[in-house]
């Protein structure tokens, strides 16, 4: 019997995401733009004033649900530039880029897998490949091609029925791609509005008014 969710369980991330889905749905019903990822939440508004007001509303909502944010982490003061999930998000000018630390981590991780595959006849631990693909896909906002350049790796995972995966040629090619620095580039920040995606005619008028309200960790 547990009084709280034990995060040591392999199912804990999925359970937490399912529970917090109601929190996210409530905010979106009230036209709040939120990007959730496990216990990290990114809120975006059109102005600093709206971001400040939203911070107070979210704080009150969390307390009413019996939740408490970690005050030592995240950004609670509205800002136009912050680091979120290994990405540098800036709204003025709008851009999303992978941080240097994350680029290095992906490059080193892919090289480690390649070296292991060379020594073990293309066989690598399944969990190792799962962690790598998860890391790469977490950066898809900054690197849209991430989905297309992990297909062979996901195929290797799908074909595996044990704790090891055999990497075929296409999977090795994808790993070499991530081991290089050719993929690291900036992707434009998608226009975001409280009432949906912005039309082209509105981007010029509101392009400099988006604020990332907070990165919240509960």
CA 109, 111, 112, 113 torsion-angle sign? positive
Q: How far is the C-alpha of 42 from the C-alpha of 81, rounded, in Å?
A: 12
Claim: this prediction has a pTM higher than 0.75? no
Q: How far is the C-alpha of 40 from the C-alpha of 28, rounded, in Å?
A: 16
Predicted pLDDT at 122: 95
Instruction: Name the more confident of 18 and 119.
Output: 119
Predicted pLDDT at 215: 46
Tokens matching residue 121: 């006849």
Q: Please list the residues that pair with 33 across neighbouring strands.
A: 44
CA 55, 144, 117, 165 torsion-angle sign? positive
Q: How far is the C-alpha of 156 from the C-alpha of 86, rounded, in Å?
A: 26
pLDDT tens per residue across span 96-136: 889 999 999 999 999 999 999 999 999 999 999 999 999 99
pLDDT tens per residue across span 49-72: 888 899 888 889 988 988 888 888
Closest CA to 175 of 120, 119, 121, 116: 116
SS3 state of residue 16: helix
């Amino acid at each position: 019997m547990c009084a709280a969710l034990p995060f040591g369980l392999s199912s804990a991330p999925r359970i937490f995401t399912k529970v917090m889905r109601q929190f996210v749905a409530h905010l979106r019903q009230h036209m709040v733009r939120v990007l959730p990822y496990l216990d990290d939440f990114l809120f975006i508004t059109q102005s600093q004033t709206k971001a400040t007001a939203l911070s107070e509303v979210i704080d009150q909502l969390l307390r009413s649900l019996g939740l408490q944010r970690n005050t030592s982490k995240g950004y609670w003061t509205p800002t136009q530039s912050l680091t979120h999930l290994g990405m540098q998000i800036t709204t003025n000018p709008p851009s999303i880029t992978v941080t240097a630390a994350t680029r290095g981590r992906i490059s080193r991780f892919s090289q480690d897998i390649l070296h292991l595959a060379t020594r073990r006849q293309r066989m690598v631990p399944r969990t190792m490949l799962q962690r790598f693909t998860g890391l790469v896909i977490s950066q898809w906002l900054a690197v849209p091609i991430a989905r297309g350049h992990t297909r062979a790796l996901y195929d290797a995972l799908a074909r595996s029925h044990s704790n090891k995966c055999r990497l075929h040629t296409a999977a090795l090619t994808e790993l070499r791609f991530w081991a290089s620095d050719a993929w690291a580039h900036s992707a434009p920040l998608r226009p975001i509005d409280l009432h949906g995606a912005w039309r082209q005619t509105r981007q010029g008028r509101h392009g400099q008014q988006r604020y990332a309200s907070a990165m919240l960790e509960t």
